[in-house]
Amino acid sequence: MQKFLSKYSSEHQEIAKSVFENKRLSFDQALFLYENADPIFCGLLADYKRTQLYQNKIFFNKNIHIEITNICVNKCRFCSFFREKGQDGSWDLEAEDVLEIVKEKVSTRITELHFTGGLHSKKTTDFYSNLFKKIKKTYPHLHIKAFTSVEIEHFSKVDGINLFELLKLLKESGLNSLAGGGAEILNDDIRKKICPEKTNSETWLQIHKYAHQLGLKTNCTMLYGHIETNKDRVKHLELLRNLQDETNGFNSFIPLKYKIQGNKLALKQEASLIDELKNYSISRLFLDNIPHLKAYWPMCGKETALLAMSFGADDFDGTISNTTKIYSMAGAEQKPELGCDEIKELAENAGFIAVERDSEYRELIFF
């Protein structure tokens, strides 16, 4: 290791020393990595950190996504999921439809329901609280992960309930954790260009803070590879790290690459594989207080997700069971479905051990 690192500059070596001594990286050091370090250097350090935490384990769970609707009052420029009511490709599930999906999938021993969807003008607090109560009555063991801060703010405005009380009500109805999307880039100048109708940065952070205060764990995300700069990425990570210092409520961080297909942002290219891998590595190194780093395979593909495990990531997400369309509609994995045995085989072939977890990252052991 030392011989390999000796060819790098003093700035590189100082960062490596900080990593090996378990010292926190500064904003400037993270920016230096984005702008001056190669992916091998970043990956080596990130893999060291991941190994210190989890040895050769990588995690997955048995989950499904339930996308209630893609009809949405917002029209974000980067979104390939949105449809108008009645437009080809739109859908709008009712509670009975959802309960049928759950009934069908529960036999596969799923442990998590991940709800997401558009901002529907009618499906707000009452719809979801009643739905969650019905699910929990029949399947109390299922973990309900749902909503971004954007949906929570939407419900609050439509239903006239303050954010904290709204989260409390949803928790009492069966909500177990927040999904963490909608963060995009926590820079309001950029948000005005790519998602002007969405929750602003301060509100996104405040909603997660309230959730953490209520005992709801959450994930956090970053949409990258569009019009943001490296400084914007580091600032985004810093805001997440600062909130985690305060609340310790984030379970995992999920980098999400902007996909070019089927949206109005109309950029010509996506982030390269090198940029993806560096982004995973720097996230692992900088977010020293967020325990898990997820490579969401339906978005980045199975091969890239597995490669990311050697660049700092430790979580593969789940089996999915072909229940999400958000990223396939943007040009990603067309049939997002993996069996447990497939995940374990992929991991083993890459030198890892795939460990099934629950939604709070407790290892599940079956006899």
What pLDDT is stored for residue 328 in this prediction? 42
pLDDT value of position 79: 54
Residue 350 resides in a domain: yes
What total of structural domains would you count in the chain?
1
What one-letter code names the amino acid at 36?
Answer: N
pLDDT of 123? 78
367: in domain:
no
pLDDT of residue 264: 60
Which pLDDT score, from 0 to 100, does residue 88 have?
66
pLDDT for res 330: 41
Please check whether residue 118 lies inside any domain of the structure. yes
pLDDT score recorded for residue 338: 86
* The predicted structure's pLDDT at residue 331: 43
Would 148 be classed as within a structural domain? yes
Whether 203 is covered by a domain: the verdict is yes
Residue 295 placed within a domain: yes
Does 6 fall in a domain? yes
Give the CATH number, domain containing residue 341: 3.20.20.70
Residue range(s) defining the domain that contains residue 324: 2-356
In a domain, 105, yes or no: yes
Note the pLDDT of residue 208: 98
What is the full per-residue pLDDT of the chain (367 aa) written as tens digits? 767 778 899 999 999 999 999 999 999 999 999 999 999 999 999 999 999 999 999 999 999 988 887 766 656 455 555 555 656 656 688 889 999 999 999 988 999 999 887 676 777 899 999 999 999 999 999 999 999 999 999 999 999 999 999 999 999 999 999 999 999 999 999 999 988 888 999 999 999 999 999 999 999 999 999 999 999 999 999 999 999 999 999 999 999 998 876 656 667 788 999 999 999 999 999 999 999 999 998 888 899 999 999 999 999 988 986 555 444 444 444 566 788 999 999 999 999 999 999 999 999 975 4
Phi/psi region, residue 25 (left: phi>0; alpha: psi -120 to 50; beta: rest), is beta
Question: What pLDDT is recorded for position 332?
Answer: 45
